Amino acid sequence: MSATPLLSSTTPSSSAVSSPRMSLGDEDKCTPLLGAAASKEHYTAALPPLPATTKRPSTRRLLSPRALAAFVVIAVALGCGLYAARSSLAVPPAAAAYVDSLHGMFETTQRPATLVEQMHEPPSTPLESGGIFVQDAAEGNHTVTAILIHGLGDSGDGRPFIWSMPQEFPWVRWVAPTSDYLNVTVREGKKTRAWFDIHTFEDVYEDEDVKGYVHSQQQLNRLIDEERQRMVTAGKEPRIVLMGFSQGGAMTLLSTLTARSENRIEAAIVLSTYLPMIEELDEVFSPAARDTPILWMHGREDPFLSLENAELGVSRLSTPPINLSRLTFKTYEGLMHTWTNEELDDVADWFEANVPERRQHSAQDAFHTLSPAEHEQEKHDAEEKMEVKWFKAEAEVPARRRWRRSMVPRSLRRHSRRRVGPKRLLTGGVLPGQFSF
| C-alpha R_g of the chain | 41
Mean pLDDT of the chain: 75
Q: CATH topology for 129-354?
A: Rossmann fold (3.40.50)
pLDDT at 272: 95
Instruction: Count other C-beta atoms under 10 Å from residue 385's C-beta.
Output: 10
- State pLDDT tens for residues 284-321: 999 999 999 999 999 999 999 999 999 999 999 999 99
The DSSP secondary structure of 342-387, one letter per residue, reads HHHHHHHHHHHHHS-SS----TT-TTPPPPHHHHHHHHHHHHHHHH
> How confident is residue 227, by pLDDT bands cut at 50, 70 and 90?
very high
Please report, rounded to a whole number, the percentage of residues in the chain having pLDDT higher than 70: 59
Alpha helices by DSSP H, 9-64 = 24-30, 40-45, 59-62
pLDDT at 27 over 60: no
- 231-280 pLDDT, tens digit per residue, is 999 999 999 999 999 999 999 999 999 999 888 999 999 999 999 999 99
pLDDT at residue 127 greater than cutoff 80: yes
Check residue 257 and give its pLDDT: 97
366-407: per-residue pLDDT in tens? 444 444 565 566 556 655 654 444 444 444 444 444 444 444
Question: Quick check: pTM over 0.85?
Answer: no
How far the first Cα of the chain sits from its last, in Å, is 85
CB atoms within 10 A of CB 105: 7
Average of per-residue pLDDT across 174-195: 94
Residues in the chain: 437
Q: Say if residue 112 is exposed, middle or buried (CB neighbours under 10 Å; 0-12, 13-18, 19+).
A: exposed
CA 301 to the chain's CA centroid: 42
